[in-house]
Amino acid sequence: MAGAPGSVRRRRLAVAAALAGVVSVVLTSVVLLGDPEPHESPPALPSASPVAAKAVVAPPPELVVSVVGKVANPGLVTVPAGARVADAVAKAGGPSPGVDLAGLNLARKLADGEQIAVGVPVPAGAAPSDGTPSKVDLNTATAEQLDTLPGVGPVMAKRILEWRTKHGRFTSVEQLRDVDGIGEGKFSKLRDQVGVS
């Protein structure tokens, strides 16, 4: 019986050791096999809203146009892209009283940097915004402007003005043939350089 207390002690120690081993295994399993520490998810990105989309759209470009001649405020005007000749004339204060706008295409779209002459003839050879040479208007051109045309000197320019005074106005370019001294050769050089309003 003397050995009984030692045997109980050994059993208790064995049970304690076994429990310690079990606890150790459980703890190790939890550490090794347990759920990893949860990672923080990234914040949600804001979605594009119609308001944000509008904010990044560039405003339409503006055009700068020179309006000269018989308007209230001749000079440079700024108009939105897609504006028409009528818009530029209005921006310059409108035409002076009594000015005939029949020579202007008020519905034509404008290009940046062009010049609009209101109520005055466009200088001979001046290029409009599309790059094509402008035509000298036989009904509004001065002697100096006519003199710049190929084959037309001061004498021929005077004859054209005399014909215009006598007949009122040119109704077609072909009437240049009726001017004394303009034959077929000279007319063929002038045909694409002149126009009538």
Encode pLDDT of 99-111 as tens digits.
Answer: 888 778 888 888 8
User: How many CB atoms are located within 10 Å of the residue 176 CB?
Assistant: 19
pLDDT at 130: 43
| 32 Rama class: left (phi>0) / alpha (psi -120 to 50) / beta | alpha
Torsion, Cα of 172, 178, 180, 181 (10° steps): 70
For 19-57, write each residue's pLDDT tens digit. 666 666 666 665 555 555 555 666 666 665 555 555 566
| Residue indicated by tokens 């021929």 | 156
95-122: burial string, b at 16+ Cβ within 10 Å, e else: beeebeeebbeeeeebeeebbbbbbebb
Over residues 68-79, the mean pLDDT reads: 91
Choose between 194 and 128: higher pLDDT: 194
Amino acid letter, residue 110:
L
Residues 6 or more apart whose Cβ sits within 8 Å of residue 175:
163, 167
What are 72's two structure tokens? 């209230």
- With 90 as the cut, is the pLDDT of residue 15 above it? no
pLDDT at 127: 47
pLDDT, averaged across the chain: 77
Q: How confident is the model at residue 153 (pLDDT cuts 50, 70, 90)?
A: confident
Over residues 107-120, the mean pLDDT reads: 84
Amino acid letter, residue 132:
T
- With 90 as the cut, is the pLDDT of residue 73 above it? yes
What are the angstrom distances between the C-alpha of 41 and each of 37, 38, 45, 46, 80?
12, 9, 12, 15, 48
What is the spatial distance between Cα 121 and Cα 140, in angstroms, rounded to a whole number? Answer: 6
Choose between 49 and 76: higher pLDDT: 76
Choose between 16 and 123: higher pLDDT: 16
